[in-house]
Chain A
Amino acid sequence: MPLPDQTDGQHDIGQRLRVLVDAPAEAAWNMAVDGALLELAEGPTLRIYGWQPHAVSLGYFQKIADFADLPKGTSIVRRTTGGGAIHHGDELTFSLALPASLLPSDIAESYVVLHDAIVRALAAIGVTCCRATSSKVATARPNSRWCFETPVRDDLITDAGKLLGSAQRRTNTAEPRVLHHGSLVLNQPQHTPFVAAVCDQVAITEVLRRDLQTRLIAELTNVLGLTAQPGERTAAENAMAARLCDEQFRNPTHLSRR
Chain B
Amino acid sequence: MRPDDLKFQKSHEWCKIDGDVATIGISDYAVSHLSDLVFLDLPDVGSTVTAGESFGEIESVKAVSSLYSPVTGEVLESNEELGDSLEWLSEEPFGKAWMIKVKLTAEGSDLMDGAAYDAHCKAEG
Contacts and interface: CB of A to CB of B under 8 A. Distances in A.
Interface stretch (B43-51, B62-70, B96-104, B111-119): B62-70
Given A60-B59, A61-B59, A82-B59, A170 B35 contact: no
Interface stretch (A29-37, A41-49, A105-113): A105-113
A139 interface: yes
Given A105-B33, A108-B36, A141-B38, A170 B63 contact: yes
- Interface majority SS on A: helix, strand, loop or mixed? loop
A82 B64 contact: yes
B36 A169 contact: no
Contact of B36 (A84, A140, A166): A140
Contacts of A89: none
A244 B61 CA distance: 25
Interface size class of B (residues with CB under 8 A): 20 to 34
Contacts, number: 76
A95 interface: no
B26 to A, nearest CB: 10
Interface in B20-59: 32-39, 41, 52, 57, 59
Contacts of B33: 105-107
A168 B12 contact: no
A169 B64 CA distance: 5
Contacts of B34: 107
Interface string A69-106: 00000000000111110000000000000000000011
7 contacts: A61-B64, A106-B32, A107-B35, A108-B61, A166-B62, A168-B62, A170-B65
Interface of A: 59-61, 80-84, 105-108, 111, 139-141, 166-174, 176
